[in-house]
Amino acid sequence: MDEIKLVGVDIGKSAFHLVGVDASGAVQLKRRCSRPQLLALMAKLTDCVVAMEACCGAHHLARQIIPLGHDVRLIAPQFVKPFLKSNKNDYLDAEAIAEAAQRPTMRFVPVKTVEQLDLQALHRVRERLVGKRTAVINQLRSFMLERGIVFRQGRRHLAGQMPALFADERSPLSPRMQAIAQGLWREWQQLEREIDDVSIEIDSVAKTDPVCRRLMTVPGIGPIVATALVAAVGDGSAFQRGRDLAAWLGLVPRQHSTGGKPKLLGISKRGNSHLRRLFIHGARSVAMHSDRKRGLGLWLTGLEQRAHKNVAVVALANKIVRISWAVLARGEDYRVPAAAAA
């Protein structure tokens, strides 16, 4: 047991498979254990590196193992897959995790705090409710279209027309369709209230958290984006520079180069799709409402003269992400550059 320097753990709901290796990489331990047995075994081991995939339950388990004196490293699952040899089973998965953790160039996921996970849960709930609301609205629109009733685009416009639709005595809707539409309308209203409740809680967190308040000084970042970024990356220490954060979010060109000839394609769309979508929405808002005579507006105007407006919005999102990393890393509010302001 004293020879073990690194332990790879394949996580399950109740069963965990461990592979321990020594300094040379040779396997010295293979064991299957339950959750209590895992913690008891970790308490007996001398201080070593414990590697796990960054999946559901990994952050909670990491916070339990760290006080035992071990160095816990979480690895994104896509970085473990290339080290899996032969067929797939739990022990081979644990061995692949241990092999991946030994690579000097491997990138690790920081262990999230309880506050980060709570904030991330709020965003996941809100995202689910918004998706459900969109599904209800689309179904309602399709039912109305089948009866020859067409509404223009816009959720708020449709919501304003619903009471008049139900009050119209000349409506082409049958009594059964009236009942179905009214049920969808009540479900829509209930979803709106639930989304508002979650949004209010997110706003309160953003107003009280100093890091979120600094992030909200950046153009295009409001309470939703600020709290989502803090929940995902914390203080940004996992990234050496702003471009690394932009690359993690998939906002940099996808490269397909060979033979010394560089070839850049569209954005890679890797990483956190929810956070990337929020940043692009924020960039689009800046493009629509910003002052084009100073700051980012001046830069964006020059870019739109050379590229399509949608490409410019994505480029602006990339820039906002890099500025956000600088705000996180330096602990300062965003300041408009003097040259750009002039």
At residue 209, what are phi and psi to the nearest 5 degrees?
Answer: -90, 125
Q: 187 in a domain, yes or no?
A: yes
Show which of 193, 208, 223 is a domain's final residue: 208
The string of pLDDT tens digits covering residues 14-53 is 899 999 998 888 888 899 999 899 999 999 888 899 999 9
Tell whether 95 and 122 lie within a shared domain.
no
Residue 321 CA to residue 326 CA, distance in Å, equals 9
Please report the pLDDT score of residue 234 as a whole number.
Answer: 87
Q: Please tell me the chain's helix, strand, coil percentages from 3-state DSSP, rounded to the nearest 5.
A: 60, 10, 30
Range 75-94 average pLDDT: 89
The string of pLDDT tens digits covering residues 158-215 is 999 898 888 887 778 888 999 999 999 999 999 999 999 999 999 999 999 999 999 9
Residue 245 CA to residue 234 CA, distance in Å, equals 12
Output the pTM of the full model: 0.85
Residue 35 CA to residue 15 CA, distance in Å, equals 7
Show which of 208, 234, 256 is a domain's final residue: 208
Q: How many domains, in total, are found in the chain?
A: 3
Q: 106 in a domain, yes or no?
A: no
Please report the pLDDT score of residue 257 as a whole number.
Answer: 84
- Residue that the structure tokens 């979650």 belong to: 198
Binned at pLDDT 50, 70 and 90, residue 279 comes out as very high
Q: 312 in a domain, yes or no?
A: yes
Tell whether 72 and 140 lie within a shared domain.
no
Q: 108 in a domain, yes or no?
A: no
pLDDT tops 90 at residue 303: no
Q: For residue 116, give the amino acid letter.
A: Q
Please report the pLDDT score of residue 337 as a whole number.
Answer: 67
Tell whether 53 and 91 lie within a shared domain.
yes
Residue 51 CA to residue 337 CA, distance in Å, equals 42
Binned at pLDDT 50, 70 and 90, residue 66 comes out as very high
The string of pLDDT tens digits covering residues 203-257 is 999 999 999 999 999 999 999 999 999 999 988 888 888 999 999 999 988 888 8
Rounded to 10 degrees, the C-alpha dihedral 115/225/57/78 comes to -150
* Residue-range definition of the domain harbouring residue 131: 114-208
Poorest-confidence range of 201-205, 319-323, 331-335? 331-335
Please report the pLDDT score of residue 342 as a whole number.
Answer: 45
β-strands 264-267, 253-255: how paired?
Answer: antiparallel
Q: What is the DSSP string of 185-244?
A: HHHHHHHHHHHHHHHHHHHHHHHH-HHHHHHTTSTT--HHHHHHHHHHHTTSTT-SSHHH
pLDDT tops 80 at residue 112: yes
